[in-house]
Structure 1
C-alpha cells in the first residue's frame, strides 16, 4: 500500500459508516483504512465486517478494551498495524471529499508533515447526509448544503475554491499549520522516532502535542486546509473535563519548554 488512513471510533456506528463510504469513493485508491477502535461494542465490529464486503479498500480493525478515553493509545496501536510508510490521520466523524487522499499523496514530502482542517456541520445536516449523498458528493456541494439550511459564512469558501485559489488561501491563512487529528499526515518513520502519541494525555491537545514534538525533531509543516477537505459530523463530547485539560496543558508546556522529541509513554509501550 502507498498510504494508510487512520481514524478512531467509539460506539458511533452511524457516523463511522458515513466516513467509510467517503473513503470508498476516493480518486486515489492505493491505500488501506485502519480503524482505531477505543473499546466499541460488538455492533461496531459487525458493521466493519459488513463494510469489508461492500467496499474495495481493505479495512484493518484495531480494537482495545474500553478503559475510558484512551485515543492516544489506540492510535499508537494503529500506527504499529499500518503496512505503508506514509500515514494520514483523520477522525471517525469526518467524511472526506473524494480527492482527500489524493491531495495528501500529492503534497507529501520528506522532512514535512501536512496540516489540514475540517468544516463543521450542524446536527440536522449531519443526520440528513445519506450514503447516496456521499457517493455522489452532494454533501460537498455548497448549494445542496444551503438547501439543507447551512448559513452563509466566509468559511464556505472551502467548498468552492479550486486549484490556484486553494493554493493562495493555503498560503495566506493565519491558521497555524499544526498537527490536527482530524486532518494531518506524515511519514511513519517520523512518527516512530517521536514515539507516537503521548498516552498520558486524554482529550484536549494530544494531537497538537505530537506536532510540537515533530517540530522539535526538526520537521516543518505544509498547510493544505483549503485543498484536503472533509466535513465534520456533529456529536456530543461527554469525555471533556477541566482536570484533563489542565494536565494536558502542563504536558504541552513541558514539551515546548524542554524541546521534548520522544514521549516517554508512547508507541514503544504497545510492542
Structure 2
C-alpha cells in the first residue's frame, strides 16, 4: 500500500438524496478512507443539504458540500468548483448514484502514479436490485447477485488489475468513465479543469481526458479493481449531445491542452487558493 498520498473524493449529485445516502454509507465502509469527501451538488433542493448536514455529524472524514444554483445540467461547472475546494494532492471522482466496493479507494491509491490519470468502469444493476439496496442500505453485491449485469466488472483480482493498468484500451483515447476516475490535482489545474462550454449531458469527461493526454499525462485503466455498482435510473436528456461531440472533436483535432472557461474562475493559479 502506497503511503503518504492524501486523497479528496469528489461525489457529483443532483436531487437524489436516497442514492447519495447509500453512496456515502459505502464510503464509510472503505478499507482505506479518503482524507476528505466533497459533494459537488449541481443545484439540488434542500433535502440533499439536510441529508449532508445530518451525515456530517458522524462522518469519519471532513464532508464538504459545494452547491450551485440549478440552471440546467452543468456537471463541468460544479466539478470545477469542487476541485477548487479540494485540499489534497490526489482526486478520486465518482457520481452519487454509485455504491463503492470496500476496497475502491485502496485500489485507486495503489494504482496512482505520477504523470498518469485513471479511468475505471462500473457494474450495472437493474431496477429491482437497485431498489433492494436502497431500501436495505446494503452496500455490496456479488457476481451471484440477481440483477447484476456485465459480471466481468465485478471481479477484483489484484495481479490482473496491475497487469491491465497500462494495457486495457490504452490506444483508445475516448475510453473513459467520468463516474469512476482519478487524477493528480496539479495535472487538472494545468489543463484548467473541466471545459464549462459543455452543458447538458455528455462528453465533458472525454474532453478533459483528451486535454490531459495532449498535455503528456498518460491514461491508465482500472480493471479487476476500483469496483463500483451503478444504481439504476432512467437516462439523462441528451439534447445537447451534438454540440458536445463537436467540442470534443475539436479538442482531438487541434490537440488542445487548455480550456478558457475552466477552473481558473474559482482557483487562483498564483496563490493556489480557492476564490
The equivalent of 1:185 in structure 2 is 182
Matches within 5 A, 1:58-207: 58-129=62-133, 130=135, 132-134=137-139, 137=140, 139=141, 141-143=142-144, 145-146=145-146, 149-150=147-148, 155-168=150-163, 173-174=168-169, 176=172, 178-202=175-199, 203-207=201-205
Given that residues 18 and 131 in structure 1 are in contact (C-alpha distance below 8 angstroms), is that contact kept between their aligned partners in structure 2?
Answer: no
The equivalent of 2:271 in structure 1 is none
Please give the per-residue CA displacement for 1:215-250, whole angstroms capped at 9, x wherever unaligned. 010110111132110011111234321xx1111111
Shift of 1:58: 1.7
Which of 212, 215, 221 lines up with 1:214 in the alignment?
Answer: 212
- What is the distance in 2 between the residues matched to 1:232 and 1:4? 21
Structure 1 residue ranges, 4+ long, deviating more than 3 angstroms after superposition: 165-179
- What is the distance in 2 between the residues matched to 1:180 and 1:132? 25
The equivalent of 1:10 in structure 2 is 14
- What is the distance in 1 between the residues matched to 2:100 and 2:162? 19
Local SS of the residue matching 2:195: coil
Which of 210, 213, 230 lines up with 1:232 in the alignment?
Answer: 230
Q: How many residues are treated as equivalent by the alignment? A: 259
Given that residues 170 and 226 in structure 1 are in contact (C-alpha distance below 8 angstroms), is that contact kept between their aligned partners in structure 2?
Answer: no
- Structure 2 gaps, min length 5: 267-274
Greater helix share, structure number: 1
- What is the distance in 2 between the residues matched to 1:30 and 1:172? 27
- What is the distance in 2 between the residues matched to 1:256 and 1:105? 29
Given that residues 69 and 239 in structure 1 are in contact (C-alpha distance below 8 angstroms), is that contact kept between their aligned partners in structure 2?
Answer: no
Closer/same/farther in 2, CA of residues 22 and 99 from structure 1, 3 Å limit: same
The equivalent of 1:265 in structure 2 is 261
Given that residues 190 and 214 in structure 1 are in contact (C-alpha distance below 8 angstroms), is that contact kept between their aligned partners in structure 2?
Answer: yes
Shift of 1:181: 1.0
- What is the distance in 2 between the residues matched to 1:113 and 1:259? 18
TM-score by length of 1: 0.89
Worse-superposed segment, 194-203 or 160-169: 160-169
Local SS of the residue matching 2:182: strand
- What is the distance in 1 between the residues matched to 2:105 and 2:203? 24
Closer/same/farther in 2, CA of residues 57 and 263 from structure 1, 3 Å limit: same
Given that residues 114 and 221 in structure 1 are in contact (C-alpha distance below 8 angstroms), is that contact kept between their aligned partners in structure 2?
Answer: yes
- What is the distance in 2 between the residues matched to 1:236 and 1:182? 16
- What is the distance in 1 between the residues matched to 2:136 and 2:106? 21
State the Cα RMSD in Å. Answer: 1.9
Local SS of the residue matching 1:142: coil
- Structure 1 gaps, min length 5: none
Please give the per-residue CA displacement for 1:60-80, whole angstroms capped at 9, x wherever unaligned. 000001101111100000000
